[in-house]
Amino acid sequence: MAKTALITGILGQDGPYLAKLLLEKDYKVYGMIRRYAYPNFANLDYLGITNNIELVEGDLADQSSLYNLIKSIRPDEVYNLAAQSFVGSSFEQPIFTTEVNSLGVLYLLEAIRNYSPKTRFYQASTSEMFGLSHTNYIQDENTPFYPRSPYAVSKVYAYWITVNYREAYGLFAVNGILFNHESPIRGIQFVTRKITDGVARIKLGLADEIRLGNLSAKRDWGFAGDFVEAMYLMLQQEKPEDFVIGTGEAHSVEEFVKTAFEYAGIKDWKKYIKIDPRFMRPSEVPYLKANSKKAEKILGWKPKVKFEELVQMMVDADLARLKNRTKK
């Protein structure tokens, strides 16, 4: 019998990559979407899998919808990827962020505990939980949390409630503590995609600047397509455990900008970058770099796409997407 998986956040970045991987493994994939007047299938379309997913309606803020879904599908695996995932917006909408990212996870775990306790559960945890905390500028499963935004705080709750349901009720529930991962279908608000979209527009004569905030922040940027393999592997283990997933390299926003402009063949990148205080955060995470040795050892997982390749892939995709546009 084919395995079944329910993916929340199916219309975001990671949902489509994970769904594609599971479909290749012959899973039946249910994708949870909210109620929209105009759902946006662009990311599923980009990967060519829109018609292969069974879409089901539900909202992390609506407990009853999650109960009904888990009760009726009883999936083998649930990947909880849905979230208010933009750190910047979490300062503007802290309550909504917490309701979805913290309580939403509790609702899902309660639904599994009550109606389908054999279901394996993956929680999309994040390196943002480390915030200011590191040991010699590297973070692993033993690094304490020091969250720096309402988003990060909400994810710390989700992390611990997942651990608690594992320990208290014996659920197969795990946290993937993923560092930043990007792709051509990364949301346009996030800095990498904002940069590659901006560079493509400048190259094609559609724009003449990119407005950014803090250029000195460093992130461990990997490719989403690689990272979803780690999610899948975590749910195939004998024992439920939490894992840090990243590339082990940190680069600054400025390095990302420079690499993207250079790849597009545009000289003097500084001319096109405007620093805009609107994109600064009230409290920032200056440095994230993963030590994924545990994942390498136990899951056999290693990232394949390197930083330069990732930047190039994203610039190429944005150039292709925009090439027929004309300046308004």
By CB under 6 A, residue 60 contacts ligand NAP: yes
Beta-carbon contacts of residue 267 (< 8 Å; ≥ 6 apart)? 261
DSSP for 140-184, written as a single string? -TTSPP---SHHHHHHHHHHHHHHHHHHHH---EEEEEEPPEE-T
By CB under 6 A, residue 291 contacts ligand GDD: no
Binding mask 101-130 for ligand GDD (x = CB under 6 A): -------------------------xxx--
Q: What is the DSSP letter of 204?
A: T
Helices (H) and strands (E) in the chain, counts: 12, 13
Residues 132, 14: Cα–Cα separation, whole Å:
25
By CB under 6 A, residue 279 contacts ligand GDD: yes
128 is catalytic: yes
Q: Which does 191 bind (CB under 5 to 8 A by kind): ligand NAP, ligand GDD, none?
A: ligand GDD
Q: Which does 281 bind (CB under 5 to 8 A by kind): ligand GDD, ligand NAP, none?
A: ligand GDD
8 is catalytic: no
Residues 300, 65: Cα–Cα separation, whole Å:
36
Choose the catalytic residue: 27, 151, 159, 287: 151
Label each residue of 280-309 as H, E or C: CCCCCCCECCECCHHHHHHHCCCCCCCHHH
Name which position in 4, 116, 119, 126 contacts ligand NAP (CB under 6 A). Answer: 126
Choose the catalytic residue: 4, 98, 119, 126: 126
CB of 316 to ligand GDD, least distance (A): 19
Residues 295, 150: Cα–Cα separation, whole Å:
28
CB of 129 to ligand GDD, least distance (A): 8
By CB under 6 A, residue 281 contacts ligand GDD: yes
Q: Determine the interface stretch with ligand GDD among 40-48, 62-70, 94-102, 276-284 (rule: CB under 6 A).
A: 276-284
N- to C-terminal Cα separation, the chain:
54
Beta-carbon contacts of residue 6 (< 8 Å; ≥ 6 apart)? 30, 31, 32, 56, 69, 70, 73, 75, 77, 78, 79
By CB under 6 A, residue 272 contacts ligand GDD: no
Q: Are strands 120-126 and 173-178 parallel, antiparallel or unpaired?
A: parallel
By CB under 6 A, residue 250 contacts ligand GDD: no
Count the site residues for ligand GDD by CB under 6 A. Answer: 23
Give the catalytic positions in this structure: 126, 128, 151
Residues that bind ligand GDD (CB under 6 A): 85, 87-88, 126-128, 179-180, 189-192, 194, 212-214, 217, 219, 253, 279, 281, 284, 288
